[in-house]
Structure formats: structure tokens, C-alpha cells
Amino acid sequence: MESTSQRASVFAQKWVRLLAILAVCGCNFFAHLGALEVGLMEARNFVAAREMAAGGSWLVPTMNGQLRLAKPPLPTWAVATVMKATGNTTDPALLRLPAAAMATLLVLFFWGLTKELTRNAEAEAQAPGRTAWLAALVLGSSLLTITVGREGHWDIFSNSFAVGSLWLLVRGWNRPVGSYTSFVGAGLLLGCTMLSKGPVSLYTIVLPFVAVFAIRWQLGGRAKLRAHWRGAVVAVVIMALIGGAWPVYIWQHVPAVAAAVARTEATSWGDRHVQPLWYYFNFAVFAGVWAVVALAALAVPYARRRAAPFIPYAFALAWLVAALVLLSVVPEKKERYMLPLLPPLALLLTGLLRYWEQEWASRHSQATQADNWLLRGWAGVLVLACLALPVFLGVVRLPSFGFASLPFASALLVFGALAAWVGWSGWTQRRPTVLITASALTMSALMLLLVPVYPLLRARRADAGLRRLAQARTTPSWQQKQWLALDEMHVEQVWAAGRAVPTWAAPADSLPTLPALVFAAAPLAQRLPAAWQGRVRIARTDSFYLGTKRKDGQFFVGVLEPASAPAGQ
């Protein structure tokens, strides 16, 4: 029976679906990009990009004047290109645009991948293309995709290119033997994956997918791989040429440093950010508004027979489990490393969404009590979340979000309307299409209306009156002088400085070019090298705090001049 969403619905049209996906991505990935402070991983990328854009090498990157070879340079190239094109090296909103664009590409790539995986699904003829479109919508509005996609670091680049390569690989496997276009494209994207974060996404995304595809979990998968082995060779060769070009160049030009970095990176997986084996077992929570459906989709006895007509359920579950195992056996773990789990999870829960849509479109012909309670549970969580957000704003009473403010009124109106709609159509009538639409709208409204709340909360918790480097760097006497540090500055402070602040590494009895601006972790009078005593004098001093609280510590800074120079030179 034709689904309600397909009958006379504008959302059956491809261009409308594309606009809807782009609108969701625009709200979730691009809105208020500059609201949050630059984090550690972003600072590393931005500092390296700033030095590239200022005239440094694009093939041998530096960070604060030192070689930065721990990560491949493609994400840094993207940020440096934005800096060169705009002339702006300080605005986080501009510098995060490449990451937001890659997050959008991730959603579009996943849309294409799901379309290829479901082209022969049993129920696909009932609503052609809707399953793939919903899967992309789910991925683009999942919590972890949004948080990673709004940050300017490497993960979103490597994950996006990896999913894109899977789309083209499956597209090639589904085409007649002798067609190589898709495999060439897959090789290009695999090469870009390696240039973004080395082999990491090959291990966490590509390997589990291809392995599961080949081990009979996908109908006809092994036969397709065997028939298209030449295409696979083409993709691997192109990947090696593109992805291996930069490492080979580095090994040829700075072999000693490259070897040291390789040793450090190899050991870091076992001794940094070490977490227990079960650290990633809560991954379903990171689906955000889809978490209730995600948990239901993982309940195999319940979900398998329901989702299987719409998606390759066994394949998606095996892909998810394989990726989870590969991630879990690596000692180093971080929340953002779970992003490779989101595509298979989105595919699984979309199968359940499509089942519910079909059942309610056919007048509840097969709906069970479990289906009813799950839909009501999902609706209840959404209603509570939508009601809690305006209440939270009213309780915390932030500047610009008071009861009489436009932002508060907008949040109250939008989330109140969503709560009423979900309460009536979702809880009472249990309409899955309403719950799907409301879930996507809730995440987009959250990004549009409430992202500015977070920096206001941080500012309120900060100690008042702290001088930070971002403000101190505009001091007139600091300009047109050499900057150097006697103690290594954290990369976030180097980013805040707006320029490189190299650590002084010359012989103790040598002097920098004077006058110079010198940073140290202790007052300069106590920190200056003994060999400098009597040869320099501290003309002016200042200090700044390293965080938003005094307990975060501070750095001291002063202008050094020759001891014989007139005061104030």
C-alpha cells in the first residue's frame, strides 16, 4: 500500500528532499559557528593554517614555528585557503566553515550510500528513495554529528571522505562489470581520507564495512566484490598515490623528525586518553533526539523483522558491531571517535522509522502494544525536552534571554508549539511522521535559538575582571617587536596571541634581538636566564590569565631592552 508520505506529498520530489536536507544542515552545522571558544584540537589546526597563510610551507606545516607532522595537512589546507581568500585569520566562524561544509558532505554522501544499499529492498517500491532520504535526515540531526561537524578539526574530514568512498564503492559494485568511474572517485576520496587523518577512518569505517559486505551479510556482496576486483585495484592504487604522496614527501625532506613523530603517534594509541573496553557502549545516546528509536532498533528480536523490509538490517547491525569492536580494542578513546558508529546506527533506526510510517499509513494493521509504547515514549521525551528548554532559560536568567527579550519569546513560542504538536499528534495519535519531523525541527531550533546560551553560561561562571591574552595582545608597546617565550606556551594561548610565540631554545648566553616581548610562567625578574643579568632590563611588564578562573594560572610578559638603552626606548 502506498504510504501517506508518498501520496500527493511534496516530499516525494527529489529537489524538495534536497532542499530539506540542506536546510537541516544549514541550521545544525552553520548557525552561530563563532559562538563557542576555540578548543585545543581546533587551535592546533588554526595555528598551523595561520602560519601557512602567512607564507609558511604548505607541504611541511609548522605550529608555533615548530614542524607539525603528527597529522596530515588536508584540513589545515582547507582552513588556510579560507584565511587567504578572506584575509581573516581570527574569526572562528569563518575558519569553521570547511568543517561545516564537510559535515554537510557527510550527510549527502550517506544519503547516496543508503540509496545504493536499499535499492533492492523489499519495500523500496512503496516509497522510492524515502528510506535513504530519512537516513540522511537522521544522521544530519544526530547529536554527535552536529557537535563534531561544528568543530574545525580532522575527524569530520576523514569520516566524510570515508563515507563518500563507501558510497562510490557500492555504486561501482552495483554497476555492470567494466565501469570504472565510481572506483576512480572512490580512490580519490580514500586518498583524501588518508590526507585528513591517515589510516584512522580506513580502520574505523572502510574496513568494517567492506569486511561485512564480503562475509555474506549483504546479499550478493561477495559475488560483487569478486566480479569487480579490477575496480577495487584501481581504487586502491589511486588511494595509495594520493594518500601516500605527502608522507613520502615528508620522509624525503625531514626523515629524522618524521621517524620521531611516527614513533610518538604509534605509542600514543596505547598511553593517551586510555579508557576501558566498554567506554563506547553508550553510543546510542549520541543519536540525541533519535536515542529512543536507536535503542529500539538495537533490540534485535523486536526490530529485525520490522526493519528488514526497508533496510539490510543484518548487514547494518554487523557493520555497527564490527566498527564498535575495532574502536573498543584501541586503548585511546574519545567521544568524538564514536562518529563512525553513527552511519550504521542511523541506517538501523531509519528502518524502524519506515516500518512505523507504513504501519500507521495502513491504519495500524500490524501495530503491537510495543510499537504504541515506543512511539509514546519517544513523544514523551520530546515533549519534556521542549518544555524544559524555556523553563531552563527562565531559571538561569541570562543576559539577553530575559522574560521580555525576543530570544526568550522566540524559544518559548517555538518549543511550546513543538511540545503541543508532539503531545497531540505524537502522544495521543502516535503519528510517526509527526515525531520524525518534530525531532528534526527540535534539533534545528536548538541550534538556531539556544547555541548562544552556552558562551553566556561560561561567562557567568568566569571570575570577573580577568585579563586574557586576546585583550592584552593589542597593547601598543607589544607591536613591532619579536615575541618569544621562556616557557612553552599552550597552543590555545598561541592561537589567542594571533601570531607565533616560539620558545627560546638558543644557548643560554645568547640574547634575542632587542627590544623583544618575552613571555614566561613566572615573573620575569625571577625567570630571566642568569646569563642575561646585567645585559637586559625589563622596561614594561604585564600579565594575563590562561583561563576563565584565577586557578587556571597566568603568564607574565615584559618588554626586554638592552641594559644601556634609554628608558622607554
- 300-315, pLDDT tens digit by residue? 999 999 999 999 999 9
Beta carbons within 8 Å of 224's beta carbon, 6+ residues apart: 173, 174
Which pLDDT score, from 0 to 100, does residue 238 have? 97
Confirm whether 197 is domain-assigned.
yes
Tell me: do 195 and 337 sit in the same domain. Answer: yes
CA separation (Å) from 114 to 164, 390, 461, 524? 11, 36, 44, 61
> CA-based angle 405:410:413, to the nearest 5?
125
Helix H or strand E encompassing 545: strand 536-545
Burial (CB < 10 A; 0-12, 13-18, 19+), residue 164, is: buried
461, 480, 504 - which closes a domain: 461
Tell me: do 53 and 107 sit in the same domain. Answer: yes
Q: Distance between CA atoms of 521 and 471, rounded to whole angstroms?
A: 18
Tell me: do 205 and 345 sit in the same domain. Answer: yes
Tell me: do 179 and 318 sit in the same domain. Answer: yes
Residue 489 has pLDDT above 80, yes or no: yes
Confirm whether 543 is domain-assigned.
yes
Helix H or strand E encompassing 554: strand 554-562
Which pLDDT score, from 0 to 100, does residue 511 have? 86
Percent of the chain with pLDDT over 70: 95
Tell me: do 151 and 38 sit in the same domain. Answer: yes
Predicted confidence (pLDDT) per residue in 356-411, tens digit:
998 887 765 667 888 889 999 999 999 999 999 999 988 888 888 888 889 999 99
Predicted confidence (pLDDT) per residue in 15-71, tens digit:
899 999 999 999 999 999 999 889 888 999 999 999 999 999 999 999 998 999 988
Please give the average per-residue pLDDT across 212-225, as a whole number.
Answer: 77
DSSP 69: -
Average pLDDT, the chain: 90
How many structural domains is the chain composed of?
A: 3
pLDDT-derived band at 218 (thresholds 50, 70, 90) equals low
Residue 349 has pLDDT above 90, yes or no: yes
Confirm whether 525 is domain-assigned.
yes
Confirm whether 407 is domain-assigned.
yes
* Alpha carbons within 13 A on the beta-carbon side of 296: 23
345, 361, 377 - which closes a domain: 361
Tell me: do 357 and 381 sit in the same domain. Answer: no
Which pLDDT score, from 0 to 100, does residue 403 have? 85
Q: Distance between CA atoms of 418 and 412, rounded to whole angstroms?
A: 10
Confirm whether 262 is domain-assigned.
yes
Residue 9 has pLDDT above 70, yes or no: no
The mean-pLDDT minimum among 9-13, 307-311, 389-393, 555-559 falls in 9-13
Q: What are phi and psi of 85, to 5 degrees?
A: -70, -35
Confirm whether 568 is domain-assigned.
no
Tell me: do 315 and 450 sit in the same domain. Answer: no
Predicted confidence (pLDDT) per residue in 428-463, tens digit:
888 999 999 999 999 999 999 999 998 888 888 888
Which pLDDT score, from 0 to 100, does residue 1 have? 38
* Alpha carbons within 13 A on the beta-carbon side of 98: 23
CB 386 within 8 A of CB 341: no
Strand-pair category, 536-545 with 516-520: unpaired
Which pLDDT score, from 0 to 100, does residue 366 have? 67
Which pLDDT score, from 0 to 100, does residue 136 have? 98
Residue 569 has pLDDT above 80, yes or no: no
Tell me: do 507 and 391 sit in the same domain. Answer: no
pLDDT-derived band at 566 (thresholds 50, 70, 90) equals low
Predicted confidence (pLDDT) per residue in 158-204, tens digit:
999 999 999 999 999 988 887 899 999 999 999 999 999 999 999 99
C-alpha 401 chain-centroid distance:
28
Tell me: do 22 and 78 sit in the same domain. Answer: yes
Q: Distance between CA atoms of 88 and 81, rounded to whole angstroms?
A: 10
Domain limits at 506?
469-562
Tell me: do 415 and 542 sit in the same domain. Answer: no
Which pLDDT score, from 0 to 100, does residue 369 have? 86
Tell me: do 21 and 132 sit in the same domain. Answer: yes
pLDDT-derived band at 565 (thresholds 50, 70, 90) equals low
φ/ψ bin of 216: left (φ > 0), alpha (ψ from -120 to 50), beta (otherwise)? left
Confirm whether 6 is domain-assigned.
no
CB 131 within 8 A of CB 111: no
CB 430 within 8 A of CB 379: yes
344, 361, 378 - which closes a domain: 361
pTM of the model: 0.93
Confirm whether 569 is domain-assigned.
no
Tell me: do 201 and 340 sit in the same domain. Answer: yes
